[in-house]
Chain A
């Protein structure tokens, strides 16, 4: 049995790992098999993480966080958690590889998952012109016409990134105002290859074997028109990834895991949550990292208060 199991390996998971490891809890970080490092693995330059005035590539930042956690004794497992049993004093965590681990505390840092448009042909055309990863797929749209749906920082960053390859990048946005930070907006608006399509919603994605166009509905007038496209990138936000804990942990009306006040304490004693999975608002690498710190400290206080005979069961396996 372990003292701490951390589920997730974004900034929240790895930072919780650094703190828990430095407290000598030898945490097990179950990082996922194909999404280890989390959302920043699919970004390019991170310019707003303190300490990196020249910027740092998202994957490199995550690699460094992992190394820092491992340096202090965290164990990183590249597997996916398929189920958890959180009630009771001993928590059980089972992976896709068929292993079940036990721990006195669990930190849930499962982050969020890309939101889909929810259109009928979206899945069929995914990989055939419809994509959620500009850094993976932008390369295939050299001298093509593409669009990105969304109005946040991710959408602006990806629009700029896509201009390295595409001749023309439309930004399709539902309203006339962007959520993106000023610097990201200015950069996109100054880019001659980017054209904003305001008050526009994608109402269908069209194409037989590959995407050929999207239908846009004007959100003010209701008029529709077809926009011929080779590629459509979707960056309309994320939903907290809570399916593992449904029916076990209390959720908020926004779908995040409910925590008590400014702590990471969930509705079950010994279970803590951190990062985007509890945060419907800020969702930054640095706020997730801070949240991971809170969870590790809360777990530490919880463990310190346990009776010696309970702690005696810990063997770090």
Chain B
């Protein structure tokens, strides 16, 4: 599990959609093994690139509305939002170098 700040159905619009900075949302759940595995990697990326890319997490169990709105059917799913739009989707846990490559446009 990542130590990233949590966003919820209630806070999603303000925290993510209205953000002036790109925001990566980690859609996760307690029962998802790969989600727990990728969490610490997202924490490292947050420390190293937090100035360019916000990283937050959304628990799909507790926030079904947002998960349904973005048609999440597989987790971990990481979506980058910019100006309220999804600009990048990453499905599945990946090693840090692979995530850095996927996110190069935002953290490079």
Contact = CB atoms under 8 A, between A and B. Distances in A.
A83 to B, nearest CB: 13
A126 interface: yes
Interface residues of B, number: 27
A195 B96 CA distance: 41
Contacts of B75: 136-137
Interface string B70-108: 011111010000000000010111111100000000000
Contacts of A135: 31-33
B95 A80 contact: yes
Contact of A96 (B29, B35, B97): B97
Nearest to A32: B95
Contact of B73 (A34, A78, A137): A137
A37 B33 CA distance: 10
Given A34-B38, A36-B37, A139-B29, A126 B74 contact: yes
Contacts of B33: 37, 41-42, 59, 135-136
Contacts of A49: none
A34 B32 contact: no
B37 A231 contact: no
Looking at B29, B31, B60, the one whose CB has the most chain A CB atoms below 10 A away is B31
B73 A127 contact: yes
B73 A210 contact: yes
A291 to B, nearest CB: 23
Contacts of A42: 33-34
B73 A126 contact: no
Interface in B24-41: 29, 31-35, 37-38, 40-41
B37 A33 contact: yes
A34 B94 contact: yes
Given A137-B74, A140-B72, A140-B73, A34 B34 contact: yes
Interface string A182-202: 000000000000000000000
Contacts of A33: 37, 41, 95-96
Contacts of B71: 128, 209-210
Interface in B12-65: 29, 31-35, 37-38, 40-41, 60-61
A49 B54 CA distance: 43
A75 B94 CA distance: 22
Contacts of A127: 73-74, 77, 89, 91-92
Given A127-B73, A127-B92, A137-B74, A35 B97 contact: no
B8 to A, nearest CB: 18
A34 B32 CA distance: 12
A129 interface: yes
B95 A34 contact: yes
Interface string A14-58: 000000000000000000111111000110000000000000000
Contacts of A36: 37
Contacts of A41: 33-34, 37
Contacts of B74: 126-128, 131, 133, 136-137, 140
Interface in A49-88: 59, 78-80
Interface in A92-135: 96-97, 126-129, 131, 133, 135
Interface of B: 29, 31-35, 37-38, 40-41, 60-61, 67, 71-75, 77, 89, 91-97
Given A42-B33, A140-B74, 12 more contacts: A33-B41, A78-B40, A80-B95, A96-B96, A126-B74, A133-B34, A135-B32, A135-B33, A136-B33, A136-B34, A136-B75, A137-B75
List the 7 shortest-distance A-B pairs measured between CB atoms, nearest first: A127-B91, A34-B93, A127-B74, A41-B33, A34-B37, A140-B73, A33-B95
